[in-house]
Amino acid sequence: MGYTDEGAQLKGFINDSLPLISDYVKKGARERPHHTALISGDKRISYAEFADQTEKLACYLLKTGVAKGDRIAYLSIPRPEFFYLYMAAARIGAIIVGIGTRQADKEIEYVLNNSGASYVFTLHSMYEFDYQERFSVILPDCPSVKGLVILGGAARLENALSFDEIMKGDYSEYQEALLEREAQINTHDGLIIVYTSGSTGVPKGALMSHQNIIHMSLVEIGMCGAVPEDIWLNHLPVNHVSGATEVGATSIIGNCTQILEPFNPQKALELIQHHQVTILGQVPTMFAMEFALPDYDKYDLSSLRIVVISGAPAPMETLIKMRETMCDNCYNCLGLTEVSGLITYTDHGASLEELNLTVGKVAPDFELKLVDELRRELPAGEIGEIAYRGTSVIKEYFKLPEATAAAFDDEGWFYSGDLAMFDEDGNLRMVGRSKEMYITNAENVYPAEVEDAIMRFPGVMLCACVAVPDKKAGEIGRAYIVPLPGHQIDVDELKEFLKGYLSHFKIPREYVFRDILPMTMLGKIEKKLLRQEVEAEIAARQEAE
């Protein structure tokens, strides 16, 4: 269902008198103070406490001198502190900058310097990383950073403070200053910067406004038909657009967010069962990891009423399992950082074929067109680059005017680099990234199409296709495949199977089987690393010759 179908209901959740995303936390505290806003571990946080913690942190930030438009970086998994900081920054006009927990030091340094962040909130440690130790090396090359706030541990570095110690303070004398600051902020002001992956160059910071996030939240609410009694499971990275927009959607509707930090397939199922989660959004690899658990069938997932899949093509086996064991109401959607979230989604009650082959129709209040290399609009049935326009589309890449000019035109259209075509029903069918396309024997090959065919073969859990240089053909395809546990895949049988789906030149010539593939924090296959592996192989081969 689109939110235009539920307009009367949604007008009660959003209006022009609430221009900031943080206004909805205050609204929730006024109208439903005892309703649970966040669940983290064994702790339940009400809307009243959420609002109180947000206000205290906002007053502290004013005390430290954070000005309107200042950037505050946050390196962590989803935790209550992120929700507090997100809304506190919104109240004072600061801008949150997400950093991934597995980003390399030089990547973190780039984000801090490009954004000009004045403060950094970071985990004490996680995985094998001691983040205080890492920041002791990074920060000397980041002159804009004035201070460090440590989450989940004591501060050891100079100019560092513990978040827990900060929140023990009394900053009530800054409440009047907070109200004065809020009056200076409008809905078009910046709220959050999400950096693109940098798979085609340096990462670009997509600057999203309050209006961008509020509008996208409405789209998500409308798609899900969300109500205040819903419980969302949030385990998406805070430096990813989905992690950022889900905060907005749940705050506007006034429902509950179950926080999982970080994603773990068994823990996710346990939380769904224990807390009766009703809305679940994940990428296909996360569903595959859950379905692969030997005791998957023991979990009671009957509370789920909405399941959303995005981020990559969804294999038919995954979709069937979703509908049989999770819920009937499944959506596939196309999301993009530059549109602040999703741009298309499948119809309510869509067939398995529609969910498998398409990402649905354009969301309400968006425009979408397909264009050729000269940005001329193409008719249905032809493959073209997707261009978008709408309220949630960002206006710029932060401090990158040339990249902004290259991606946006004077009429507000954003050109994504994604290739797609419309089917006869008006659904969008993804073909791939224009920069991932390769040419074999003068024929164009789109990896997404090849991957979709391979994922249909029984026993395939994950797949990624990349180009490999070839002296005769120019380029050929290499398929990296992760089989499902207990399955062995015969290459000859796979090739024969692919003849039913792909032209001969599209069938990969090389196959590599792995137990795992490199993944992003969101659970997408990191093709950039696979391409680097190919480049290293070619370089080693040339050196040996």
Instruction: Report cis status (omega within 30 of 0) of the bond before 262.
Output: yes
pLDDT at 54 over 80: yes
**97: which 2 tokens?**
């900058």
| Residue bearing the bigger pLDDT, 220 or 262 | 220
The arithmetic mean of pLDDT across residues 487-494, rounded, is 95
Q: What confidence score (pLDDT) does residue 2 get?
A: 32
* Higher pLDDT, residue 106 or 116: 116
Taking a C-beta distance cutoff of 8 angstroms, is the pair 442, 423 a contact? Answer: no
Amino acid identity for residue 141 in this structure: D
- Judged by DSSP in three states, 51 sits in helix
pLDDT at position 6, please?
A: 39
CATH architecture of 263-433: 3-Layer(aba) Sandwich (3.40)
What is the distance of C-alpha 37 from the center of its chain?
Answer: 21
Beta carbons of 377 and 403 less than 8 angstroms apart: no
Write the single-letter amino acid at 416. S
Of 133 and 158, more confident = 133
Residue 4 has pLDDT above 70, yes or no: no
Read off the pTM.
Answer: 0.85
pLDDT confidence tier of residue 197, bands split at 50, 70 and 90: low
Confidence of residue 541 (pLDDT cuts 50, 70, 90): confident
pLDDT at residue 243 is higher than 60: yes
pLDDT band at 7 (very low <50, low <70, confident <90, very high): very low
Residue 306: pLDDT band with limits 50, 70, 90: very high
Nearest-angstrom CA–CA distance, 114 and 431: 32
For 138, counting Cβ atoms within 10 Å of its Cβ (0-12 exposed, 13-18 middle, 19+ buried), the class is: middle
CB count within 10 Å of CB 107 equals 16
Tell me the CA end-to-end span of the chain in Å, nearest whole number: 60
pLDDT of residue 9: 42
Residue 523 near residue 285, CB atoms below 8 Å? yes
pLDDT confidence of residue 14: 56
What per-residue confidence (pLDDT) applies to 201?
62
Alpha carbons 489 and 483: distance in angstroms, whole number: 7
CA torsion angle 450 454 455 461 (round to 10): -120
Ranking 280-289, 308-317, 382-391, 489-498 by mean pLDDT, the lowest is 308-317
Identify the DSSP state of 154. -
Query: Closest Cα to residue 393, out of 138, 209, 154, 200?
Result: 209
Question: CATH 3.30.300.30: which residues of the chain?
Answer: 436-544
CA 87/CA 25 separation, integer angstroms:
8
* Residue 274: predicted pLDDT: 96
Say how many residues make up the chain. Answer: 545
Cβ–Cβ contacts within 10 Å for residue 443, how many?
Answer: 13
| Superfamily of segment(s) 19-209 | ANL, N-terminal domain (3.40.50.12780)
Q: Are strands 125-126 and 460-470 parallel, antiparallel or unpaired?
A: unpaired
Instruction: Kindly state the average pLDDT of the residues 107-132.
Output: 94
Q: Boundaries of CATH 3.40.50.12780 in the chain? A: 19-209, 263-433
| Residue 15: predicted pLDDT | 65
Least trusted range by pLDDT, from 28-42, 197-211, 504-518: 197-211
| Three-class HEC string of 24-49 | HHHHHHHHCCCCEEEEECCEEEEHHH
Judged against a pLDDT cut of 80, whether residue 32 lies above it is answered with: yes
Q: Mean of the per-residue pLDDT values for the chain?
A: 90
CATH class of the domain whose range is 436-544: alpha beta
Q: Is the pLDDT of residue 5 over 70?
A: no
CA dist., res. 264 & res. 267, Å (int): 5
* Least confident among 33-47, 59-73, 123-137, 431-445: 431-445
What is the predicted pLDDT for the residue at 95? 98
Q: CA dihedral defined by 235, 241, 244, 249, rounded to 10 degrees?
A: -90
Q: How much of the chain exceeds pLDDT 70, in percent?
A: 96
